[in-house]
Chains A and B, each alone.
Chain A
Amino acid sequence: MKPAPFHYERPTTVAEAVAALAGGDGEREVKLLAGGQSLVPLLALRLARPATLVDLNRVEELRGIEVSGDHVRIGALTRHEVLHTDATVRSRLPLLATAAGHIGHRAIRTRGTIGGSLAHADPAAELPTGCLALGAELEIAGPAGRRTIPVGTLFDGPLSTTLPADELIVAVRVPVDMGRRPFGFAELTRRAGDFALVVASVTIAVDADGGCRAATVAVGGVGGSARLIGPAARALIGTRLADGAVDAAVAEVDRAIRPFDDLHASAEYRRAMAALMVRRAIGAARGAR
């Protein structure tokens, strides 16, 4: 239960962190350390044995939450507890503040970060579905400079992402108008603080006359990655969000997901609960119009 030896680096800028990552290759793995709430258990169990750990905690540029132009920019090192309590996030992106409050316990939330949660890509984590439903983008830094990608292109199966080993997430950018939408968040856990068995995040945009103009439906815990269910959103768009439209959206979720059996729940149970969580999340969004 003790991590294997590793070299430790403590950069203070993104450029230094990128330079430190560039030292890795197939033989000598270099890993980023953010909150450590997922990585350190893996090190302790020796499921991960990187040669070098690059501690991001002193990189000021990865901190901070600011509204700039048409989006809110959240530094990758923003702790779950900050996301849950920060006044800007609570007023501008209440869906994310709500989702963050469901993560683990306070002693986990004081350390765990949004960048770490997204990069860890646990299919049952809360923030991935929240970021998907809000149409978030990720600012990425690497040896070739900066680029921006939609969060949906990050996830690539359980605990795996499309992010190359020499790049890091600098910030999460969420469009302000997405944050303004009525939303719903629902999750099923066995105990408060557990990872979700199933988690759903929904946003809707409603015209003055009550018609649904746009919607997003994201689910987690029912397949390899958290994902958007486009057909479910389309089943809501153009309707007045009556019960029949909700039934149709739930049916699309059922069609799209491939839940798995594991220690915690059968695939069949997850499927039934996915329908229920999506129904609850749509109901909450509808109620918040």
Chain B
Amino acid sequence: MNEPTVHRWPIRCTVNGSVQHLLVEPRRTALDVLRDELGLTGAHAGCEHGVCGACTILFDGEPVRACLLFGVQLDGAAVTTVEGLAAADGTLHPLQESFSAHHGLQCGFCTPGMLLSALDLLAHNPIPTEAEVREGLGGNLCRCTGYQQLVDAVLDAARGGTYDCT
């Protein structure tokens, strides 16, 4: 079969606060671009078809599946990945601290997506009920924790501070 000739698109986007100029092949997903072009391997490639949530990032402040967005669609956008959560000196984000304190991770594969979904939840609903936390994390699968520690971590983080997605 004749593969169409590859035309790369120039894009400009802001990733974790720094401006990036890239040349991307359209079929590469935003997840591929973040991981392979920018070396940001925090967003994980789990299922690569929208089911697991391991690739969740914030795209112009809203949670999206990076595996269902193309890299060219990052043009003009601002993106936050898990690498953008901790402070420059490595001090963990309060949500990360809470995940650590409550054993909200074991292997860590789901953690980047969980953290960003949790951040989005708390930004919109600062004092969620347990049921609301479970629903807020419902699009992210974890094969290790059994979820209880994750829910505890998010509820505790909610008590300890206020959050926003910008």
Contact = CB atoms under 8 A, between A and B. Distances in A.
Interface string A34-70: 0011001101110000010101010000000000000
B71 to A, nearest CB: 10
Interface of A: 1-8, 10, 33, 36-37, 40-41, 43-45, 51, 53, 55, 57, 81, 104-108, 110-111, 191-193
Given A44-B48, A45-B49, A192 B68 contact: no
Q: Is the interface of B mostly helix, strand, loop or mixed?
A: mixed
B27 interface: yes
Given A41-B49, A106-B120, A111-B64, A5 B25 contact: yes
Contacts of B29: 3, 40
Contact of A107 (B7, B26, B63, B70): B63
Interface residues of B, number: 32
Interface stretch (B15-23, B94-102, B132-140, B154-162): B132-140
Given A55-B70, A108-B50, 12 more contacts: A3-B27, A3-B29, A6-B27, A8-B26, A36-B68, A37-B65, A40-B69, A45-B49, A53-B26, A108-B65, A111-B64, A192-B135
Nearest to B69: A36
A193 B139 contact: yes
A40 B50 contact: yes
A106 B63 contact: yes
A104 B29 CA distance: 21
B3 A5 contact: yes
A53 B26 CA distance: 9
A207 B15 CA distance: 57
B122 interface: no
Contact of B139 (A10, A81, A108): A108
A43 B68 CA distance: 10
A111 B69 contact: yes
